[in-house]
Amino acid sequence: MASARVVLTLLVIGVGVGGCADDRSYKNAFSEKHGVPGSSQRFGASTDDIFRAVKLTLVQEGFIIEQVDAAGGLIKAARDLADEKNSKLSYNVSTTVAVAGAPGGRSTIVTIAANQQTVTHDTSHNWMPLLGPLMIPMPGKKYSTTVTGEGTITDRLFYSDFFAAVGRNLRDDLKDDLRDDDDLRDDATAAPAPAAARGARLEPSPAVALGPPAPSAQPQ
């Protein structure tokens, strides 16, 4: 009888554990309602131009490029941000940007995934016992960091600012390309000077010596 109760208890515990596992949030990770709104945008430019603009944007904003896969269209970058109001807090932002050509080849789709860690910075002293319960601090401090929060960035403003910066760099890049093309076109259409004219120098004409007039024929 006792063994039957043990078996029944284990079955109940197993059902309870299984029920808890069914409630885990990863089940809905790919559902539409758990997607990150505003994390993808289409640009009317080539994948090469967009890829270059994305890299430039990340570097301009202080991100350290950790990995670049030009063939696969992936860029991974990270940045550390200090809290403006609390010196004991900082934030580690890591991003993965995917650049892919849209169907039809006339535009490019950029998608960014971003994650943030909240880090707490603490300082403490080493204490040395003096007498009984009395302790005195040792010279110097100990520094420690603890991750106190982590998750996907879901703020729309984060993504809209990123895409706006990519758009600005893309327009500037295309303007520079057009300017370079105009300069090359002007150089190509300029008529080159003839080789003889480029190497010739003007010399003064030599003076012509005038002699006495020839004698006229006498009649015989």
- Locate the DSSP E strands across 2-141: 40-43, 64-69, 74-82, 89-101, 108-124, 127-129, 135-137
As a 3-state breakdown, the chain gives helix, strand, coil percent values, each rounded to 5, of 35, 30, 35
Which residue segments constitute the domains of the chain, with CATH numbers given? 33-187 (3.30.310.80)
pTM: 0.63
Residue 200's pLDDT is what? 43
Give the Cα separation of 164 and 38 in Å (integer).
12
pLDDT for 115-169, tens place per residue?
A: 999 999 887 767 666 666 776 666 667 777 788 888 999 999 999 999 999 999 9
pLDDT for 67-108, tens place per residue?
A: 999 999 999 999 999 998 988 899 999 999 999 998 877 899
Give the Cα separation of 106 and 118 in Å (integer).
40
pLDDT greater at residue 113 or residue 31: 113
Q: Give the tokens for residue 219.
A: 């009649």
Most confident of 28-32, 45-49, 135-139, 208-212: 45-49
